[in-house]
């Protein structure tokens, strides 16, 4: 291995707490057919990253160890694989790559898009996991329309903060749940009503909703049915909603389904950021060396928007 083929990356050799993440010198990946190699500027830190690292998902999503976490990426194209068209060395791109907690990461061209002028690497980095998921929930599954009532459960999070803005952009009456510290923040994203879930039971406060987008899961899903109007829909990105409960209540239920190709959604999200209709909220930026601290912060399950790793200028 020469210095030219090495890079710095945060990786873990065994499942465990955040401290298993260590920054090491590793082999740079090569882009395969249909992929590009991205020089990473920012990597998003998502709940899926630490769920995989902790081993919570190892029964059905085992990761080959050692593993470099990370899906969200923004950066510049360093090299292109065989058969790649539409992307060239030096292009500014964002989307979903593989093992993005590193100086370089590969990404299929079907899950990245070009960054529009005026959009920064920092703004673009959280748009795949958070942005695409919010789009799937609000637009593709929820079919939210102007004048409808949309409830976003978890309006402050990486997914929820974008879902609130997408609902507002669609012209819906957006209601959202958040903890006390995040009520004003979520209102500033375009929610007309924000329920402080630490003191108010959402089922007592909210009724006649057309679409619930649930980004929390568990008990929150269970307590979301009664706010729906007949024929309404509950969409969740956490788990699978109970079809029997939905049928018994005369409503519909769906889990978000991620398509294999997401470029067209990323392009829509990029345009919204460029026009100012969507402002991705960045909670905190850590260095690659502090990847363990970044995941520990994400693991609290509370916060505002997305945590990022800044890998390069």
Ligand X SMILES: NC(=O)c1ccc[n+]([C@@H]2O[C@H](COP(=O)([O-])OP(=O)(O)OC[C@H]3O[C@@H](n4cnc5c(N)ncnc54)[C@H](OP(=O)(O)O)[C@@H]3O)[C@@H](O)[C@H]2O)c1
46 interacts with ligand X by CB under 6 A: yes
Q: Which of residues 128-147 bind ligand X (CB under 6 A)?
A: 129-130, 133
**Given candidates 110, 179, 245, 284, which one binds ligand X under the rule CB under 6 A?**
179
302 interacts with ligand X by CB under 6 A: yes
100 interacts with ligand X by CB under 6 A: no
54 interacts with ligand X by CB under 6 A: no
Site pattern 223..242 for ligand X (x: CB under 6 A): --------------xx----
256 interacts with ligand X by CB under 6 A: yes
Stretch that binds ligand X, among 27-35, 69-77, 148-156, 259-267 (CB under 6 A): 148-156
Q: Which of residues 277-296 bind ligand X (CB under 6 A)?
A: none
HEC secondary structure over the chain = CCHHHEEEEEEECCCCCHHHCEEEEEECCCCCCCEEEEEEEEEEECHHHHHHHHCCCCCCCCCCCCECCCCEEEEEEEEECCCCCCCCCCCEEEEECECCCECEEEEEHHHEEECCCCCCHHHHHHHHHHHHHHHHHHHHHCCCCCCCEEEEECCCECCHHHHHHHHHHCCCEEEEEECHHHHHHHHHCCCCEEEECCCCCHHHHCCCEEEEEECCCCHHHHCCHHHEEEEEEEEECCCCCCHHHHHHHCCEEEECCCCCCCHHHHHHHHHHHHHCCCCCCEEEEEEHHHHHHHHHHHHCCCCCEEEEEECCC
199 interacts with ligand X by CB under 6 A: no
Strands 209-214 and 193-196: unpaired
* Nearer Cβ to ligand X (237/272): 237
160 interacts with ligand X by CB under 6 A: yes
**Given candidates 90, 231, 276, 301, which one binds ligand X under the rule CB under 6 A?**
301
* Nearer Cβ to ligand X (116/217): 217
**Given candidates 76, 153, 224, 295, which one binds ligand X under the rule CB under 6 A?**
153
* Nearer Cβ to ligand X (29/155): 155
**Given candidates 38, 68, 127, 159, which one binds ligand X under the rule CB under 6 A?**
159
Question: Considering the complex, what minimum distance in angstroms separates the CB of residue 160 from ligand X?
Answer: 5
**Given candidates 7, 84, 109, 156, which one binds ligand X under the rule CB under 6 A?**
156
Residues 6+ apart with CB under 8 A from 244: none
Structure tokens that stand for 134 in this block: 């919010």
182 interacts with ligand X by CB under 6 A: yes
Q: Which residues bind ligand X (CB under 6 A)?
A: 46-48, 129-130, 133, 153-154, 156-160, 177-179, 182, 197, 215-217, 220, 237-238, 256, 258, 298, 301-303
């Amino acid at each position: 291995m020469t210095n030219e083929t090495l890079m710095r990356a945060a990786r873990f050799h065994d499942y465990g707490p955040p401290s298993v993440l260590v920054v090491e010198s590793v082999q740079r990946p090569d882009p395969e057919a249909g992929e590009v190699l991205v020089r990473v500027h920012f990597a998003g830190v998502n709940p899926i990253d630490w769920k995989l690292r902790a081993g919570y998902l190892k029964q059905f999503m085992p990761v080959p160890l050692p593993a470099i976490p990370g899906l969200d990426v923004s950066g510049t194209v360093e090299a292109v694989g065989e058969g790649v068209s539409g992307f060239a060395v030096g292009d500014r791109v964002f989307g979903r790559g593989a093992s993005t907690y590193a100086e370089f990461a590969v990404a299929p061209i079907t899950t990245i898009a070009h960054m529009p002028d005026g959009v920064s690497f920092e703004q673009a980095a959280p748009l795949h996991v958070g942005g695409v998921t919010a789009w799937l929930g609000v637009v593709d599954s929820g079919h939210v329309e102007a004048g409808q009532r949309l409830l976003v459960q978890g309006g402050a999070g990486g997914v929820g903060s974008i879902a609130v803005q997408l609902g507002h952009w669609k012209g819906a009456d957006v209601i959202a749940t958040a903890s006390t510290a995040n009520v004003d923040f979520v209102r500033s994203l375009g929610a007309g009503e924000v329920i402080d879930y630490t003191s108010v039971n959402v089922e007592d406060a909210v009724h006649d909703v057309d679409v619930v987008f649930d980004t929390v899961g568990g008990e929150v899903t269970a307590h979301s049915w009664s706010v729906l109007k007949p024929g309404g829909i509950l969409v969740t990105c956490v788990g699978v909603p109970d079809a029997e409960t939905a049928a018994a209540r005369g409503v519909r239920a769906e889990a978000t389904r991620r398509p294999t190709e997401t470029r067209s959604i990323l392009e829509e999200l990029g345009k919204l950021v460029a026009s100012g209709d969507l402002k991705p909220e960045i909670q905190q930026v850590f260095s690659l060396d502090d990847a363990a601290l970044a995941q520990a912060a994400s693991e609290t399950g509370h916060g505002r928007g997305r945590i990022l790793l800044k890998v390069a200028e």
